[in-house]
Amino acid sequence: MLRRGAIFLAASASQIALGVLAWWLIGAGALDGDVQPGWLIAWVLLSLSALFVQLFASFTGGLLTIDVAALLKQRLLCGALRLDPASIRARGSGELLAMVSESEAVETAGLGGALGAIVALVQLASAAAVLAAGAGGGLHVALLLGWTLAVALLGRRFARERAAWTRARFASTSGFVEHVVGHRTRVAQQASQLHHVEEDAALERYHGASRRMDSVGDLLASLPARGWLALGLLGLVPAVLGGVGVGPRVVATGGILQAQAAFATLATSLGALLSAAVSWRSIARLFVAAERREPTGIPQAVLGRPATSGVVLEARGVSFRYDAERGEPVLRGCDLVLSKGDRLLLEGRSGGGKSTLAAVLSGLHAPSSGLVLLRGLDRRTLGGAAWRSRDLRAASSSMHGATPPSAAHTVRSRDAGATRGALRRRCAG
């Protein structure tokens, strides 16, 4: 992709250079009053070459966009699969749905906007070189730099308004989905006259954010190109009043028009690119989560270790809290010994820690304190892949071919809250 990106950049720069050279040839002949057929043929050939190079740049840019989009999708999918289950649980389904839509915005708007912005910047650089050789000289170059800075500040303001609009849209989407999911509970628990108060307030915030973003977006779409044309022509006035020749004035006018086209491209691309940048903040956690690596374990332990007893899974003093610093423990001091052939029943009211205990025992969560052993080895020693493999084999052996114990006994779990549930270990029969 880096090689393809370099080819795209070189092709874009070549296309702009060929266009400038073609118009320089025909312009020089026209100003001298001697347009030879050879100059016209050269102009046609250079223009056709610029057209073919532009087609090649567009083709290369399309391939580059496809490659980057495919890599981005793979990375985001990998990050989604490596997210911490606790962070997924803390997010509602509405927020997760909004993250999916934002990933689409990054792919469609971000990649196209990035390529367009690159082409616009190359055009601006070439326009600066043409303006430096024209009647305006340094004044035109300074005006171009100042106007570029003004457009950048306008883009920054648009990014702020876009971020506020995105937050309002996230809140509206998340609230709508959560209300749909919990509609029956809401109808039963909330007075009917209050059903739409929260939605109306969210829609009002969304409408205000949309209005502000659209007003800045309209400026960003129209002001850069038109404002520069007026500013560039104004910068040409001193040269006209000073009696500068026709040739330098024509060159300056060509540079002004070239910069105007660059600003028109930049305005469109910048809006899409800034929108994608705001959307990126919502999915960046997925991109970063793809870098998570679970411990590989000790190969000698993973290759195989003969069992010295019938104990498959053992928990000693296991405690767990979702907030490692301030949260109350969901589990506290849980002890469990599960042997081959045993069946386990978790009992307790909602919120008592049943799912959390199962997640800790299966390796989805690391215990805040205590120790979990699978056939005598902890997860750090085995590594994630070997832990899951042994966990599946252990579960399979616990369900089949085992002689059930003659008696059932109970292991108590002192978990948080008022739950006094028991871990009842029943025999397989």
pLDDT values of the chain reduced to their tens digit, one per residue, 429 residues? 888 888 988 998 888 888 888 888 777 777 666 767 777 888 888 889 988 998 998 899 888 888 888 888 888 888 888 877 666 766 666 667 767 777 777 877 777 788 888 888 888 998 998 889 888 888 999 999 999 999 999 998 998 898 888 888 777 777 676 666 666 666 666 676 666 777 788 888 888 889 999 999 899 888 999 999 999 999 888 888 887 888 888 888 888 998 999 999 888 888 888 888 887 877 888 888 888 776 666 655 555 555 556 788 888 888 888 776 666 788 888 888 888 888 888 888 877 888 888 888 887 788 888 888 888 788 777 777 777 776 545 444 443 333 333 333 333 333 333 333 334 333 232
Number of Cα atoms under 13 Å in the Cβ half of residue 148: 18
- What is the spatial distance between Cα 281 and Cα 400, in angstroms, rounded to a whole number? 49
**H/E element, 115:** helix 111-133
- What is the spatial distance between Cα 262 and Cα 143, in angstroms, rounded to a whole number? 15
- What is the spatial distance between Cα 53 and Cα 59, in angstroms, rounded to a whole number? 10
Give the CA distances from residue 56 to residues 25, 120, 159, in Å, rounded to whole numbers and listed in that order.
24, 17, 32
Say if residues 395 and 381 touch (Cβ distance below 8 Å): no
Q: Greatest CA separation found in the chain? A: 112
